[in-house]
Amino acid sequence: MRVSNMFIPTLREVPAEAEIASHKLMLRAGLMRKLASGIYSFLPMGYRVFRKVEQIVREEMDRAGAQELIMSALLPAEAYQASGRWEVFGAEMFRLKDRGGREFCLGPTHEEIFTETVKNETRSYRSLPLTLYQIQTKYRDERRPRFGVMRSREFVMKDAYSFDRDEANLDISYKKMYEAYCKIFDRCGLDYIVVDADTGAMGGSGSQEFMVKSSIGESGIAYCNACGYAANDEKAECIPENCCCGQKEACCEQLEYEKVATPNARTIEELMEFFKCDAKEFAKTLIYKADDKIVAVMVRGDRELNETKLQNTLGCIELEMADAETVKKVTGADVGFAGPVGINVDTIVDLEVAGMKNFVTGANETGFHYKNINIDRDFKATKVADIRTICEGDKCPKCGAPVKVELGIEVGHIFKLGTKYTQALNCIYLDENGKENPMVMGCYGIGINRTMAAIIEQNNDDNGIIWPMSVAPYHVIVVPVNTGDELQMELAQKIYSELMEAGVEVLLDDRNERPGVKFKDADLIGIPVRITVGKKAAEGIVEYKLRSKSEFSDMSVEEAISSAKSEVGK
Ligand code: ATP
Ligand code: MG
């Protein structure tokens, strides 16, 4: 393709709205443009990459025996109502009505619809196992769309669903998908880690996420280099220390509690300053609204509450921190002084807090805290559970070695669903004896747009994107330095044609621009191989450079062509 004819609207300036490398670069390199919050159009260069990622996914799905189909994005409400997810999705689901008042949604994910389809067409054990997939647009009205296509409101997902006779066969289907996912992300050139994930309200017997380690990731991942354990922080189990401070013997004796006036101290930092002690010696009491119920939740002063763990413990659908007015109503005090003593709501206590002695809590009175509080003696827990987020250095739940914690981008998710949907929607098969059984299901998702953005996050430098060859929009760019020079143009044209004939995807930058501008664009767009035709054209010498390396070398035309071909694998 000749660059002079192409629609590649690159930008020199970094768009103000973009915070992370991939988002900035996708806009700057002219890969996409924003239409509205969390809604984007892919432009030609971006769409080529998008389709390559999609194609890698498709090839590996097909190779694993999954069959592609396509369903509508506009879906009737009934199946979601039958599974209960019409409510569960809450505000995240885009809902609409047709002219007759019938309810629909724009599909956020298709478990119900695949289940319905299989149910209507398949009755016999002989039809199983069956894995179906589609690569299709999903809609989710995310609370906080951000980072470009990383978390958008419209995105394309490859979603696959397996149907089996029993758990043992599900394990086989699941393993095939696991292996296909590894191949997909390997081929995309991603450095990723597979972590155990929470199965949460969806039920199911196991789930794993494919995470790309990145400082801009939104999921915490805990992993252990000693034994290989890896889990996301919603799942990673926290092993409590034996004693609140782990060292002082005296703290194991229960001391008399006392109320202390703490007029200007309400945050942990202010309290540490006031009491001259460590955050570990406090227990925070947080007030939450879980569906329609108010609960108090306690974690150690230096810990983070994990809302997913709490949600699972409570078995609630909606969970949010109570507003100041509710806090005042429940505790009788302003925010910052809540505590477990005398409070009249269920109190969920983190495992670690249950092992603490003589700690500081709010006194449910504005301006006061209690010292030397002890569980069971001074208050009762409604429930003790692991509800905090694991931290770097905590004990590995499997082997006890200190864990590492990093951030990751979830690009794929595989899930053993079991019979949750097949039972709800009555998707059954008849076994050899004519007996009815619910099919056992798995579901498997990959975000195509997010994967594309994650590839950029891991492959870029100050000058732009560095595409892995497998997903690069074009493999090679041929740059004549001076388009007015006939010899240079002729040679560039010859290289361009020969590479094209060999099946290489090649660009010819025939624009009448300064070479610096062309080099900058080629680097920004991230074409893996650049062949520059300049002053030495008369001698048949060109400059050969890889985007991923800083050095370049002079080569004969033949050598440059064959190097490019072998780089591309042609
Ligand atoms: P997250 O926790 O990031 O919201 P999720 O658990 O909701 O993800 P799944 O429902 O498992 O995601 O969807 C499967 C895949 O779809 C994810 O692994 C991710 O790659 C992609 N995905 C999910 N939500 C979005 C989104 N808002 N924008 C882009 N891709 C998304
Ligand atoms: Mg989500």
pLDDT at 403: 96
Question: Do 558 and 500 fall within a single domain?
Answer: yes
**Cα dihedral sign, 459-144-211-241:** positive
Share of the chain above pLDDT 70, in %: 98
Q: Which ligand minimizes its atom distance to the CA of 142?
A: 1
pLDDT at 15: 86
Packing angle of the helix pair 448-458, 44-63 (nearest 10 deg): 110
Strand partners, 193: 211
Q: Report yes or no on 206 lying in a domain.
A: yes
Closest C-alpha to 176, from 184, 186, 187, 188? 184
Mean pLDDT of all residues in 526-541: 97
List the residue whose alpha carbon is closest to atom 11 of ligand 1. Answer: 413
List the residue whose alpha carbon is closest to atom 26 of ligand 1. Answer: 151
Lowest mean pLDDT among 67-71, 259-263, 439-443, 473-477: 259-263
Atom of ligand 1 nearest to the CA of 218: 3
Closest C-alpha to 475, from 524, 553, 529, 533? 529
pTM above 0.95, yes or no: no
List the residue whose alpha carbon is closest to atom 27 of ligand 1. Answer: 151
Question: Do 161 and 293 fall within a single domain?
Answer: no
List the residue whose alpha carbon is closest to atom 1 of ligand 1. Answer: 410
Model confidence at 203, in pLDDT bands (50, 70, 90)? low
Q: Report yes or no on 241 lying in a domain.
A: no
Q: pLDDT per residue over 45-54, tens digit each? A: 999 999 999 9
Model confidence at 491, in pLDDT bands (50, 70, 90)? very high
Mean pLDDT of all residues in 53-76: 98
pLDDT at 505: 98
**Cα dihedral sign, 321-325-331-333:** positive
Q: How far apart are CA 385 and CA 408, in angstroms?
A: 26
Residue 445 Cβ < 6 Å to ligand 1? yes
Domain end (from 456, 487, 518): 456
Return the C-alpha torsion angle 251, 254, 256, 258, nearest 10: 60
Radius of gyration of the chain (CA): 29
Residue 38 Cβ < 6 Å to ligand 1? no
Question: Do 63 and 107 fall within a single domain?
Answer: yes
pLDDT higher than threshold 70 for residue 248: no
Model confidence at 88, in pLDDT bands (50, 70, 90)? confident
Mutation test of ligand 1: which of 450, 452, 455 has the most ligand atoms closer than 8 Å to its C-beta?
450
Mutation test of ligand 1: which of 88, 140, 157 has the most ligand atoms closer than 8 Å to its C-beta?
157
Question: Do 253 and 230 fall within a single domain?
Answer: no
pLDDT at 250: 47
Q: Report yes or no on 244 lying in a domain.
A: no
Share of the chain above pLDDT 90, in %: 90
Domain end (from 456, 489, 515): 456
Mutation test of ligand 1: which of 85, 112, 411, 413 has the most ligand atoms closer than 8 Å to its C-beta?
413
Residue 186 Cβ < 6 Å to ligand 1? no
Residue 282 Cβ < 6 Å to ligand 1? no
Query: How does DSSP assign 497-560, residue by residue?
Result: HHHHHTT--EEE---SS-HHHHHHHHHHHT-SEEEEE-GGGGGTEEEEEETT-S-EEEEEHHHH
Residue 450 Cβ < 6 Å to ligand 1? yes
| Sheet of 346-350, strand order | 319-321, 283-290, 293-300, 346-350, 383-385
Owning domain of residue 498: 474-568
Q: Which amino acid is at 97?
A: K
CB 492 within 8 A of CB 540: no
Question: Do 127 and 274 fall within a single domain?
Answer: no
Residue 339 Cβ < 6 Å to ligand 1? no
Question: Do 369 and 451 fall within a single domain?
Answer: no
Q: Report yes or no on 299 lying in a domain.
A: yes
Is there a cis peptide before residue 129, judged by omega within 30 degrees of 0?
yes
pLDDT higher than threshold 90 for residue 240: no
pLDDT at 558: 97
Residue 138 Cβ < 6 Å to ligand 1? no
Question: Do 231 and 254 fall within a single domain?
Answer: no
CATH of the domain at 179: 3.30.930.10
pLDDT at 317: 82
CATH of the domain at 266: 3.90.960.10
Helix ranges (DSSP H) in 412-513: 420-424, 448-458, 486-501
Helix ranges (DSSP H) in 315-361: 324-331, 351-354
pLDDT at 92: 94
Alpha carbon of 18 to ligand 2 centroid (Å): 21
pLDDT at 188: 98
Residue 410 Cβ < 6 Å to ligand 1? yes
Question: Do 171 and 293 fall within a single domain?
Answer: no
Q: Report yes or no on 3 lying in a domain.
A: no
Residue 411 Cβ < 6 Å to ligand 1? yes
Question: Do 172 and 32 fall within a single domain?
Answer: yes
pLDDT higher than threshold 80 for residue 252: no
Diameter of the chain measured on Cα atoms: 94
Domain end (from 385, 417, 433): 385
Task: Return the SS3 of 533.
Answer: strand
Residue 22 Cβ < 6 Å to ligand 1? no
Q: Report yes or no on 5 lying in a domain.
A: no
Q: Which amino acid is at 187?
A: R
- Domains contained in the chain, number: 3
Q: pLDDT per residue over 376-390, tens digit each? A: 999 999 999 999 999
Task: Look at 157 and 87; give whichever has higher pLDDT.
Answer: 157
Q: Report yes or no on 394 lying in a domain.
A: no
Residue 157 Cβ < 6 Å to ligand 1? yes
Q: Report yes or no on 4 lying in a domain.
A: no
Model confidence at 202, in pLDDT bands (50, 70, 90)? low
CB 445 within 8 A of CB 412: yes
Residue 142 Cβ < 6 Å to ligand 1? yes
Model confidence at 263, in pLDDT bands (50, 70, 90)? confident
Question: Do 116 and 263 fall within a single domain?
Answer: no
List the residue whose alpha carbon is closest to atom 31 of ligand 1. Answer: 447
Residue 244 Cβ < 6 Å to ligand 1? no
End-to-end CA distance of the chain: 18
Alpha carbon of 411 to ligand 1 centroid (Å): 7
Strand partners, 287: 296
Q: pLDDT per residue over 168-191, tens digit each? A: 999 999 999 999 999 999 999 999
Question: Do 114 and 144 fall within a single domain?
Answer: yes
Question: Do 111 and 214 fall within a single domain?
Answer: yes
